[in-house]
Amino acid sequence: MINQGFPGVACGCVLSLLVFAVGAAPPILDSAAIDQRAAAWQPTELERQWEQIGWAGGLKAGLDLAKQSNRPLFLFTHDGRLNVGRC
């Protein structure tokens, strides 16, 4: 048989754990610390290499760009929705 005071003791334990887990307030960051954290999240040069691809808005513009730069043309087509980011 379960003691009638058990639910109250259990709630008290849970509340005390929550108070202990929260503890002290997180440190307040100044603008320099925020800028430093934001800079650390920026992509590296290696991660930004894809931006050097010669994107074109249409087939004619892509052919012209390929001829000017003496590079091949990669044709990307998609039938449907492509709303998951840049491509």
- What span, in angstroms and rounded, lies between the C-alpha atoms of 11 and 5? 10
pLDDT of res. 64: 93
Q: In the numeric block, which tokens belong to residue 65?
A: 């760009």
Q: In the numeric block, which tokens belong to residue 6?
A: 């058990």
pLDDT tens per residue across span 33-73: 899 999 999 999 999 988 887 788 889 999 998 999 998 99
Choice between 39 and 11, residue whose per-residue pLDDT is larger: 39
* Residue 13 binned pLDDT confidence (cut-offs 50, 70, 90): low
Burial of 67-87, coded b for 16+ CB within 10 Å and e otherwise, reads eeeeeeeeeeeeeeeeeeeee
Nearest CA among 44, 41, 75 for reference residue 58:
75
- What span, in angstroms and rounded, lies between the C-alpha atoms of 42 and 39? 5
pLDDT tens per residue across span 63-87: 998 999 998 998 877 777 666 655 5
